[in-house]
Amino acid sequence: MFFISDAYAQAAPAATGGGESLFGSLTGLPLMIGMFVLLYFIMIRPQMKRQKEQKAMIDALAKGDEVITSGGMLGKVTKLGETFMHVEIANGVEIQVQRSAVIQVMPKGTIK
């Protein structure tokens, strides 16, 4: 028993007081803000611009306009309502579609 020395636990290092975690959160904050700004200019802003242009196009629809619907139908607008419109896709054949289904207004004379 005399040959084995006693083992004592070492004292724990002193706590830093949270200085590193505060510094870490402060460096992460500008990174998160930068990512949000980048996301805004790359994705959100162009999407809002496209939606605004689409709404302006739908509001400007008039009788006689030649349009393409989201289903791929090409026709001439015959009647306009608040939310629906009638589109003539062939002689004597009219369909009723939502105004929001129009994806493009074609130049006059496209339909022969």
Q: Is the pLDDT of residue 108 over 60?
A: yes
Closest CA to 53 of 5, 103, 111: 103
- Local confidence band at 28 (pLDDT 50, 70, 90 cut-offs): confident
Q: Report DSSP state, residue 62.
A: -
Which CATH code fits 63-112? 2.30.30
Query: What global pTM score does this model have?
Result: 0.63
| Residue 93 token pair | 């054949």
**Pairing of β 93-98 and β 74-80:** unpaired
- 36 phi, psi to nearest 5 deg: -65, -40
The Cα 84–Cα 76 span in angstroms is: 14
Place of tokens 């402060």: 26
User: What are the boundaries of each domain within the chain?
Assistant: 18-60, 63-112
Number of Cβ atoms within 10 Å of the Cβ of 110: 12
pLDDT in tens, 88-104: 999 999 999 999 999 99
Place of tokens 């083992």: 7
